Amino acid sequence: MSGETVGDLLRLARREFQEADLDDPALEARILVSGLLELSTTEMVLADDRAVAPDDAERVREGISRRLAHEPVYRILGHRAFHGLDLKISAATLDPRPDTEVLVDRVLHHMRALVEQRGRVRILDLGTGTGAIGLSLAKACPVAEVVLTDISAEALSTAEENAHINGIADRTGFVRSDWFGAVSGSFDIIVSNPPYIVREVIGTLDPEVRNYDPMAALDGGADGLDAYRAIAAGALSHLAEDGFVGLEIGHDQNEAVTALFAREGFGLIEAAKDLGGRDRVLILAPGV
């Protein structure tokens, strides 16, 4: 179809999303259309009457159809902003959520003391996916070096691409590893947003999650704690003196994960809540 304008496509997307009862149809329509047409928020306002080339209009219509099939907006766009970074998303990675930025912020808060003491820090990001956590920490701290690990070669390739996109590749290493299996050396900080969904409830998750996020990044085992057991068991032998561990957790896992780490000699430094007021972040250190 030809002769359509930016405003026509935006109104079409908003109308379709409203009829589909999406949570925030106006916002999603604006993000999708502006992203696919590569227009800023300001340009979207000024371009309401601008004609859109037929191929571009078709791409927007295809994007609307994909969203109506519950594919998340940022997966359709192929990238998203996270803590000041532009992150490519692939089929092998999670779509980084804003709540995970809370983990980055709390780790940065505690990292400052280590930087003052040592002048530099080494960070290990386990199960990195897009690299969101580790790369955000490295971007925010010019004296930080980070090693990103993932069991998925495709995820690790995505993380490596993101390191280059955001100008951090020279301070970033990449290791394909099942948790600590192929990791050597010690680190000042170990971070992770591991799979923590109880296996039997994965089928009840929203289709945006269960149909599009990789299962390996969701399935936490029968009780949702398998990854935390592996991390707790290996963290102490890979942690430098005065180092700490920063974790994202499920909203009801604070006590269980804290107890797992306590059995390995770790104490809780801080528990932080996400943007919705739910438990989401633990900062733990040995001997506390």
Question: Which tens digits make up the pLDDT trace of 160-185?
Answer: 999 999 999 999 999 999 999 999 99
> 28: which DSSP letter?
H
In this predicted structure, what is the pLDDT of residue 116?
A: 93
Token readout for 175 is 């290791």
In this predicted structure, what is the pLDDT of residue 193?
A: 98
In this predicted structure, what is the pLDDT of residue 135?
A: 98
CA distances from 84 to 87, 118, 173, 174 (A): 9, 26, 20, 21
Measured in whole angstroms, how far is the alpha carbon of residue 205 from the centre of its chain?
18
CA distances from 222 to 202, 225, 277 (A): 11, 8, 26
Length of the chain: 288
Contact 149, 109 (CB under 8 A): no
Tell me how far apart the alpha carbons of residues 145 and 123 are, in angstroms, rounded to a whole number. Answer: 6
Residues of the chain under the 50 pLDDT cut: 1
In this predicted structure, what is the pLDDT of residue 287?
A: 87
Beta bridge partners of 285: 267
In this predicted structure, what is the pLDDT of residue 1?
A: 44
Tell me how far apart the alpha carbons of residues 273 and 114 are, in angstroms, rounded to a whole number. Answer: 23
Helix axes 254-262, 226-235, angle to 10 degrees: 30
In this predicted structure, what is the pLDDT of residue 45?
A: 86
